[in-house]
Amino acid sequence: MAQLRTTSKGQLAKYTAGLLSVVGSSMNSRTGIKAGIKTVIIKNNDKNKQVLKKYSQLASSSSTERAALDLILETTSGLVAIGAIDKPKDKGNKGDIAEGILAAAIAARFVNKNQPIDSSKVKEIISSLSTKNGKVVEKSFPSPNKNPKIKDTVQFYLSLAESNMKFFLDQSSWDSYSDLFDAAAKYANGQTITKWSKLLYENNQENVIDVISDGVGDQKGTKVDVKVKVDGKATNVNISLKADDVKQFGQVGGSEFEKQITLWNKLAGIDVSELEDDYTNLLKKKKVEKAVYLVYDYVSNKMNTMLKNKRTKTTLLNNLGSGIQKFATSGEENVTLVQLAGGAAKVYDFGKVMGAIQNLDLKVKIIDSSGKPRMIIEDKDEESFLEVRVKAEGKPDGSTYIRNYIEKGKLLTSLIATSA
């Protein structure tokens, strides 16, 4: 089995859930884990718990994953670098596990309507869950009201891929996910859930509160990862979740020219159809990245020209505002992006974009990133508002698959994000 240090750049995060699970089992049950030719047992101490917490944070970004691999754990037979540990067979997905944790936190807040919760309350909910088919957990919890004669019912529903459900229910790795538990509790104590909790606590009615996270359902048809219904009716709690400090909120994948048409028309209302012949000719010559660069450069020049004229600037800013909302919410109403990172919860309201963007003085530039274009839309002080970058992946047939990632910049974050 290959060691973690052999992981390709940008791929380490996908092993985080599996690693934390096997290391947690070693710490709690003294089971051996492979580290090259050695088998080691990880000590169950506070120092190791802090190392794993730091690893979880560092491994989430390609720029810090090497530092994550160099972190040292104490074993019963000496020290071992995390990079020397063998890759876990079962990977899990931290983002999907985070969905379950956030859903459990919201359920815990509705069970304890009249008081804030902490991570221990979230863990109480998860500890009570079990699954029969490995993919779905369902459980109802009583929820007291201000009137002691009335009780609501909180119905918790979670579906995950079997491997992710296994890690979600595995208590041995919870210490390593303490930042997610803390962040989820902070969101559940925030304005939106608190407002609903107070209303349902004081309304003198019996209500059924559904907390739903359908991780194996129609993920292509919706941006919503966690939602809440009351008496079968939708609320404004529709969460698109990001675990760790992830900038991306939209993407268009595929090397076909139609994908470039879709990307730029949806994001900025810009028609790139006149580039089709040149793009196709470059594809024929297997110059995929150069073909994409051609389009990005064209769009960059087009945007800068539009930004110099008052009328066309207004048109472009309106199109960008609308495009950002479309990619962030898929056109669904009341969708909020929630980001859990470093023990904190940040809430993005993309409904604010249209108003905020009108006051910006923007410009566009292209940066060459190893032969691939990276577009940066920034203000006059060069603070990034929005970025669009390209990731190229080789396919087994020798062709190249392109992903266009749409990412929020610091300026966009400052305009539409608040801490829960």
Percent of the chain with pLDDT over 70: 99
Which has the higher per-residue pLDDT, 175 or 352? 352
Residue 188 has pLDDT above 70, yes or no: yes
Mean pLDDT of 165-169: 91
Average pLDDT, the chain: 93
How far apart are the C-alpha atoms of 360 and 377, rounded to whole Å? Answer: 11
Percent of the chain with pLDDT over 90: 78
Ramachandran quadrant class, 250 (left: phi over 0; alpha: psi -120 to 50; beta: rest): beta
Q: Which tokens go with 321?
A: 């505002």
Q: What are the tens digits of pLDDT across the range 336-390?
A: 999 998 889 999 999 899 999 998 999 999 999 889 999 999 999 999 999 999 9
How far apart are the C-alpha atoms of 171 and 81, rounded to whole Å? Answer: 24
Confidence of residue 175 (pLDDT cuts 50, 70, 90): confident
DSSP code, position 84:
G
Instruction: Indicate if the alpha-carbon torsion angle 323, 332, 112, 215 is positive or negative.
Output: negative
Please report which helix (H) or strand (E) contains residue 228, including its range: strand 226-230
Q: What are the tens digits of pLDDT across the range 136-147?
A: 999 999 999 999
SS3 content of the chain, % helix, strand, coil (to 5): 45, 25, 30
- b/e for 262-271, b at 16 or more Cβ within 10 A? ebbebbbebe
The alpha carbons of the chain give a radius of gyration, in whole angstroms, of 24
Pairing mode, strands 72-75 and 208-214: unpaired
Q: What are phi and psi of 10, to 5 degrees?
A: 85, 0
Please report which helix (H) or strand (E) contains residue 137, including its range: strand 136-144
Q: How many CB atoms lie within 10 A of CB 308?
A: 9
Picking from 15, 208, 136, the residue whose alpha carbon sits closest to that of residue 6 is 15
Which has the higher per-residue pLDDT, 219 or 28? 28
pTM: 0.85
Q: What are the tens digits of pLDDT across the range 287-337?
A: 999 999 999 999 999 999 999 999 999 999 999 999 999 999 988 888 999
Q: How many CB atoms lie within 10 A of CB 220?
A: 6
Picking from 225, 154, 159, 156, the residue whose alpha carbon sits closest to that of residue 196 is 154
Residues 59, 68 contacting (CB under 8 angstroms): yes
Q: What is the largest CA-CA distance in the chain?
A: 75
Q: Which amino acid, one-letter code, is at 102?
A: L
Q: Which tokens go with 15?
A: 């092993």
Residue 204 has pLDDT above 90, yes or no: yes
How far apart are the C-alpha atoms of 344 and 17, rounded to whole Å? Answer: 19
Confidence of residue 215 (pLDDT cuts 50, 70, 90): confident
pLDDT at 212: 97
Which has the higher per-residue pLDDT, 8 or 339? 339
Q: What is the DSSP string of 187-213?
A: HHTSHHHHHHHHHHHHS-S--EEEEEE
Residue 219 has pLDDT above 80, yes or no: no
How far apart are the C-alpha atoms of 290 and 80, rounded to whole Å? Answer: 44
User: 3-state SS of 292-352?
Assistant: HHHHHHHHHHHHHHHCCCHHHHHHHHHHHHHHHHHHHHCCCCCEEEEEEECCEEEEECHHH
Distances (CA, A) of 66 to 218, 221, 417: 35, 36, 30
How far apart are the C-alpha atoms of 97 and 158, rounded to whole Å? Answer: 11
Confidence of residue 221 (pLDDT cuts 50, 70, 90): low
pLDDT at 230: 98
Q: Which tokens go with 344?
A: 């904190």
Residue 220 has pLDDT above 60, yes or no: no
Q: What are the tens digits of pLDDT across the range 82-100?
A: 999 999 987 788 889 999 9
